[in-house]
Amino acid sequence: MSRLIKEDFDKLCTFIKDYSLSDVLKIDDAKKLLSSFHKKYFAYLVLIEGIHHKIEQYDEVLKMSKEQYEYLQESCSDVGQAFFLTFHGCYKGAKLLLRSSIENFLKGSCLDEDKSLPSTKSVYEVFDKARATGTFKETKANLHAQLHNEYALLCQDVHTADVSHMASITALNHFPSFHNEDAGNILKMVQKIIPIYITTIALKYNLAYHSMSYNYKEITNKEIINDYKKEVHNIV
């Protein structure tokens, strides 16, 4: 038995040594998809960096606590890790991280209005509490509804709703791999989630958002959801 374990471990070491993503980049569909994912992720990363800069400078125009920022930063980190897993072909893991990202975003964006959010264990209770805050009131209620819908879809993988949501990976040499449909489904979710994040922050912290650098806003403005552009830009 120990000999079999050692032989398999030696194979694992060889696999790690030879592991490469170069073949994935040769696939046109893969490169296009990664480019689209990167564009969304980078926009969120830029927003988080803009917030970080203001916190570091103690900019009073941004009424956000450091704890809020840390949750938003973790939300962005989750998206980055999901991106990393996607181009390796770890699609179920990527979806788990997007689910985590949504939860962290809700806590980060609404913590100033409900201090109980960090200690709330039920994610659906987190959604309920977030919906009750001013962050998602009136015209912004639809942002919450859209985010809730994406979260529900991601839960199908977390809880393995049926056979179609099983990854069925039995050996590591399956990776790296690219499946257009699986990767495309993740991209569709990211294309909905990131604009919701950026639009929500731009609405809630409107003054601070507009005081960000022009180079940052040139990137993030493209992700503002069309129905909210006038409100974000204070156009009557």
Q: At 101, is the pLDDT very low, low, confident or very high (cuts 50, 70, 90)?
A: very high
> What pLDDT does 163 receive?
45
Neighbours of 226 (CB within 10 A): 8
- The per-residue pLDDT for 213 is 92
| Arithmetic mean of pLDDT over the chain | 89
The predicted-structure confidence for 115-125, as pLDDT tens digits, reads as follows: 999 999 999 99
In this predicted structure, the answer to whether residue 107 has a pLDDT above a threshold of 50 is yes
* Residue 161, pLDDT above cutoff 80: no
Map tokens 């809880």 to a residue.
159
Residue 166 has pLDDT above 50, yes or no: no
Percent residues over pLDDT 70 in the chain: 91
From 73, 110, 147, 205, select the one nearest 217 (Cα to Cα).
205
Does 197 have pLDDT greater than 60? yes
Q: Which of 78-87, 154-163, 205-214, 219-228 has the lowest mean pLDDT?
A: 154-163
Is the C-alpha dihedral spanning 139, 140, 143, 149 positive or negative?
Answer: negative
Token representation of residue 55: 């916190």
Percent of the chain exceeding pLDDT 90 equals: 65
Q: What average pLDDT does the segment 205-224 reach? A: 94
What contacts 2, CB < 8 A, 6 or more positions away? none
| Spatial distance between the Cα atoms of 107 and 113, rounded to a whole number of angstroms | 10
Helix (H, G, I), strand (E, B) or coil at 65: coil
Tell me, rounded to whole angstroms, the distance of Cα 133 from its chain centroid.
Answer: 22
Give the residue extent of every domain in the chain.
Answer: 28-162+171-232
**Are the beta carbons of 111 and 117 closer than 8 angstroms?**
yes
Burial class (CB in 10 A: 0-12, 13-18, 19+), 1: exposed
SS3 171: coil
What's the rounded Cα separation, in Å, for the pair 148 and 153? Answer: 9
Model's pTM, two decimal places?
Answer: 0.89
Q: How confident is the model at residue 87 (pLDDT cuts 50, 70, 90)?
A: confident
Higher-pLDDT residue of 19 and 222 is 222
Which of 46-50, 61-65, 78-82, 221-225 has the lowest average pLDDT? 61-65
- Which residue stretches of the chain are H helix? 2-18, 22-25, 28-56, 66-88, 91-110, 123-131, 141-158, 180-204, 206-210, 214-220, 229-232
pLDDT at 177 over 80: no
Q: What is the average pLDDT across 126-147? A: 96
Supply 200's token pair. Answer: 């929500």
Q: How far apart are CA 224 and CA 207, in angstroms?
A: 15
